[in-house]
Amino acid sequence: MIFPNKYIKLNNTLLGIAALTLSLLIEPMNMNLLWGKISNKRKDLTFDQFVLALDLLFVLGLIHFSENRIEKLILIKEKEQNDKKKVSVIIDFINYCEIRKLNKKDALIPYILEICEVLKNDTA
């Protein structure tokens, strides 16, 4: 299940696992190290769930794989430059929560939806 509902809690969905993954991906690291950190935090997760969460983050454009390392790529905020052109500015999830004065659990879904909107507009 990707999204939570009244029967499935957020932390048991791919969205919740993806949020945990993003929170632990402070610096670029290889998959084994990241899996070790996640499996220490959540003993109930399977490697398959972890890989599906990585797939979700990659499809949403939140992470990047290069040289056997996973790197966090997060864009959201638009900023006007001198010529009044709007450009995307990199902002991470923690700053997003602070700007919006939301806790991480409440901010995750709006954050991902906003990223999807930015990506949709960039490809259109």
The answer on pLDDT for 101 being more than 70 is yes
Sorting pLDDT into bands at 50, 70 and 90, what band is 15?
A: confident
pLDDT (average), residues 14-24: 85
DSSP string, 35-58: HHHHHHH-TT--HHHHHHHHHHHH
Percent of the chain clearing pLDDT 70 (strictly above): 71
Positive or negative CA dihedral for 72, 75, 76, 80?
Answer: positive
DSSP alpha helix (H) spans, 1-124: 14-24, 31-41, 47-59, 93-100, 104-123
**pTM listed for this prediction:** 0.62
pLDDT score at 82: 52
The answer on pLDDT for 91 being more than 50 is yes
